[in-house]
A and B are shown apart, each in its own frame.
Chain A
C-alpha cells in the first residue's frame, strides 16, 4: 500500500479535487505544473538556499535529556520552532511563493488560524515584494493578536472572516471565495495539507524537508536513520506530513498523530477529527470531517487556534483508516499542562498546538531504548497570553 498521493491526488479513498468549475483552471494549472516546477534544478536551488539562509535550516534535532529521563525513553525534538517566524509553516510558504512566481502570479491570498501560516505568508510576500491578503476568523484575530500585528507590520492586509464559527474553516472559505473572484493573477497559498489536489501533496512535499533532515541527523546521533516513533500534532496535518514523509513507507517507524480533543472528545467541544469525523467533502477534498448526519460541517473547538479545524488532510485520513498511524486525542487541559512541563524541563516554550503532542506520555508508553522524535512544530510566543490566562501567571 502506498501512503503517498496518486496522480489524481488520492490517498486510498481520500483526497481528489471536489471543486466548483470556477476553481478548475487554477487547480488544473497547478496540477499540471507543480511537480515539474518543484523538480526543476533552479527551483530546488533557490528553495534550498532560502531554507538555509533565510529560514535557518537545518533546524536542530535536539536530544531532550530531562524529558527523556522523566519518561524513561529517548526523546528527540525536531526544532521547527527555531525556523524564522517561529513555526514549520514557513517551509511551505517559501516553496509556494517560488511556485507562484514561476506561475506568473502577482497577488497572494492565504487563510490562517493561529496566525502562524498568515505570518509565514506575509513574510515571504514581503521578501518577494508581492501583495498579500490573509483571511483570518474574527475569533482567531482576537485570540492571536500578536500574530495579527506581525502580519500588518509585514505589509499584509488581514481580512476578518465573519461567517460560520469565525475560525480557520471560515477563513479558508473566504480565501477560496477570493480565489474564485480573482482567478487569473492570484495564487492561493494554503497553509496545510488540505484543500483540493494538488495542494495536499504539494504542501507535504515542501514540508518533507523536516523528515529528510531527521534522517541524517538521527544517523549522526544514533547511528540509524529510523526512529521507533515520530510524533506530531495534527490540525490540517502539515507539520505531521513533513515529519512522517520519508518514513511513510517504512513500517518499522511508528507514526503517532495527536489531535485536539478540546474539552473532551465527547463533550461537543472538540476538534478530534479521527474520532468524530466521517467521510465527506471539505474545502475540495474528500476526507474525514466533523459533520452532522445531514452533511453540514460542524464547528470544532480547541484552545489552540491552529488545531481548530473540522477536517484533516487526506493523507492523515488514510493513515488513520489504514491503521498505519496511531491517533491520540489530547484535551486542552492535558496540552496546557504538557506545555508547561516542556517549558520547565527543557527551557522551550512550545506553541499550544505542539503542546498537544507532548501530552501523549499518559496514553502511550515507550520502551527505554525507543527513539521517539517529536516534531516541535512551533514556539509559544504567540500563545503567551493564553498560557498566562490559563495558569494565572
Chain B
C-alpha cells in the first residue's frame, strides 16, 4: 500500500510540512527531511521551486526565487533524494507547478519519483480533466497518488468529482487565498471544514493555507484528518535555521 494511504489510516491527526527544496541552502533538502521525520512530522511535501508560482504569496515566492538562485533544478532534486528511502519512512510528496514537470517529461518525472520512493504529487495547475485524459495512467503505473485541491468556492458537484478521482487525500485550501496570505481561522472557515466533513467523502481531507501554530492546527484538524504547514515553516527556517526544526514541530504538537 502507498505510504500516504497507510498514514491516512493511522488513528491520529496528521501534521504535514511543506518546504521549498534548495532553501535556505542548496544542500538542505536531506537534512530538513531527516529533521522533520525525527521530530514527529507525519508527511512531507517537497516543493520543487518554480520561477512563477501563481498560487503562492511572498514567503514561498521568495523561498522559490532563492532556491533557484542557489541552483536548484529538477534533476538535482532527484539526485539529492536518490537514497532518501534509506532513512525516511514517512510519506513524501513532490509539490510544484506543472511546467517544470512538463519540461522534464511527465513520464520520466513519474518514473524517477517511483524509483526514489515518492508517494504522491501535488501540481495545483495540472487540472483534473487534463490529468484524467492525459496523465492518470502514467501516475498510476508509477504508484503515485495525485492530490487535488478544493477551496471554499468549489461546488458540491466538483467536490464529488474530485473525491471520486482522488486516491489519497483531498487538499482542502482553507480560504480563498494564495499561500501565507492569512493566518488564523474565523467562523467562516470552521463552517466550511464542517460542511465538507458532513459530505462523508471517501477521501480524507487535509487542510492547508493559514496554519501556523498549535491553535490553528487544532482548529483545522477538528473535523479533518490533518493539516499542512508551509509559509509559517519557511519563515521559521529563514529566522531560525535547519538546526532548530525540532522546536518548531514540538510547538505544534505540545
Contact with B along A62-94 (1 / 0, CB 8 A): 000000000000000000000000000000000
Residues from chain B with Cβ under 8 Å of A298 in the complex: 51
Q: How far, in whole Å, are A279 and B105 apart by their CA atoms in the complex?
A: 12
A-B contact count (CB 8 A): 108
Question: Does A291 interact with chain B (Cβ within 8 Å)?
Answer: yes
CB distance from B77 to the nearest CB of A (A): 10
CB distance from A17 to the nearest CB of B (A): 6
CB distance from B164 to the nearest CB of A (A): 15
CB distance from B21 to the nearest CB of A (A): 13
Question: Does A268 interact with chain B (Cβ within 8 Å)?
Answer: no
Q: How far, in whole Å, are A98 and B4 apart by their CA atoms in the complex?
A: 47
Contact partner of B98 (CB less than 8 A), chosen from A18, A25, A278, A293, is A18
Known contacts: A181-B181, A281-B102. The answer to whether A297 contacts B173 by CB under 8 A is no
Question: Does B130 interact with chain A (Cβ within 8 Å)?
Answer: yes
The size of the chain A interface, using a CB distance under 8 A, is 34
Residues from chain B with Cβ under 8 Å of A291 in the complex: 99, 103
Question: Does B50 interact with chain A (Cβ within 8 Å)?
Answer: yes
Contact with A along B54-82 (1 / 0, CB 8 A): 11110001000100100001110000000
Q: How far, in whole Å, are A176 and B56 apart by their CA atoms in the complex?
A: 10
Known contacts: A21-B124, A181-B176, A184-B153. The answer to whether A295 contacts B57 by CB under 8 A is no
Q: How far, in whole Å, are A385 and B2 apart by their CA atoms in the complex?
A: 62
Is the CB–CB distance between A20 and B149 below 8 Å? yes
Known contacts: A20-B54, A22-B55, A24-B158. The answer to whether A295 contacts B104 by CB under 8 A is yes
Is the CB–CB distance between A297 and B52 below 8 Å? yes
Is the CB–CB distance between B99 and A281 below 8 Å? yes
Known contacts: A183-B176, A284-B125. The answer to whether A295 contacts B54 by CB under 8 A is no
Question: Does B252 interact with chain A (Cβ within 8 Å)?
Answer: no
Known contacts: A24-B154, A180-B55. The answer to whether A296 contacts B50 by CB under 8 A is yes
In A241-283, the 8 Å CB interface with B consists of: 278-283
Question: Does B148 interact with chain A (Cβ within 8 Å)?
Answer: yes
Question: Does A173 interact with chain B (Cβ within 8 Å)?
Answer: yes
Question: Does B218 interact with chain A (Cβ within 8 Å)?
Answer: no
Q: How far, in whole Å, are A164 and B57 apart by their CA atoms in the complex?
A: 13
Is the CB–CB distance between B155 and A295 below 8 Å? no
Question: Does A294 interact with chain B (Cβ within 8 Å)?
Answer: yes
Question: Does B5 interact with chain A (Cβ within 8 Å)?
Answer: no
Is the CB–CB distance between A20 and B125 below 8 Å? yes
Question: Does A19 interact with chain B (Cβ within 8 Å)?
Answer: yes
Residues from chain A with Cβ under 8 Å of B148 in the complex: 21
Question: Does A16 interact with chain B (Cβ within 8 Å)?
Answer: yes
Residues from chain B with Cβ under 8 Å of A282 in the complex: 52, 99
CB distance from B188 to the nearest CB of A (A): 12
Q: How far, in whole Å, are A281 and B54 apart by their CA atoms in the complex?
A: 12
In B91-146, the 8 Å CB interface with A consists of: 97-104, 124-127, 130
Is the CB–CB distance between A177 and B57 below 8 Å? yes
| Most chain A beta-carbon contacts within 10 A, residue among B65, B126, B173, B176 | B176
In A2-19, the 8 Å CB interface with B consists of: 16-19
The chain A residue sitting closest to B153, CB to CB, is A25
Residues from chain B with Cβ under 8 Å of A183 in the complex: 151, 153, 176
Residues from chain B with Cβ under 8 Å of A24 in the complex: 127, 153-154, 158
Question: Does B178 interact with chain A (Cβ within 8 Å)?
Answer: yes
Q: How far, in whole Å, are A20 and B178 apart by their CA atoms in the complex?
A: 10
Known contacts: A18-B125, A163-B61, A184-B153. The answer to whether A177 contacts B99 by CB under 8 A is no
Contact partner of B51 (CB less than 8 A), chosen from A182, A279, A296, is A296
Q: How far, in whole Å, are A183 and B151 apart by their CA atoms in the complex?
A: 10
CB distance from A111 to the nearest CB of B (A): 12
Residues from chain A with Cβ under 8 Å of B183 in the complex: none
Q: How far, in whole Å, are A389 and B214 apart by their CA atoms in the complex?
A: 58
Question: Does A57 interact with chain B (Cβ within 8 Å)?
Answer: no
Question: Does B177 interact with chain A (Cβ within 8 Å)?
Answer: yes
CB distance from B93 to the nearest CB of A (A): 16
Is the CB–CB distance between A297 and B127 below 8 Å? no
Residues from chain B with Cβ under 8 Å of A181 in the complex: 176-178, 181
Q: How far, in whole Å, are A177 and B61 apart by their CA atoms in the complex?
A: 12
Residues from chain A with Cβ under 8 Å of B153 in the complex: 22, 24-25, 183-184
Inter-chain pairs besides A21-B124, A278-B103, A295-B99, 15 sampled, C-beta below 8 Å: A18-B127, A20-B54, A22-B149, A22-B151, A22-B173, A22-B177, A24-B158, A181-B176, A182-B176, A281-B97, A282-B52, A294-B75, A294-B104, A296-B100, A297-B51
B positions within 8 Å CB-CB of A:
50-52, 54-57, 61, 65, 68, 73-75, 97-104, 124-127, 130, 148-151, 153-155, 158, 173, 176-178, 181
A positions within 8 Å CB-CB of B:
16-22, 24-25, 163-164, 169, 173, 176-177, 180-184, 278-284, 291, 293-298
A-B contact pairs, 6 of them (CB 8 A): A16-B127, A20-B125, A21-B154, A22-B176, A25-B151, A284-B125
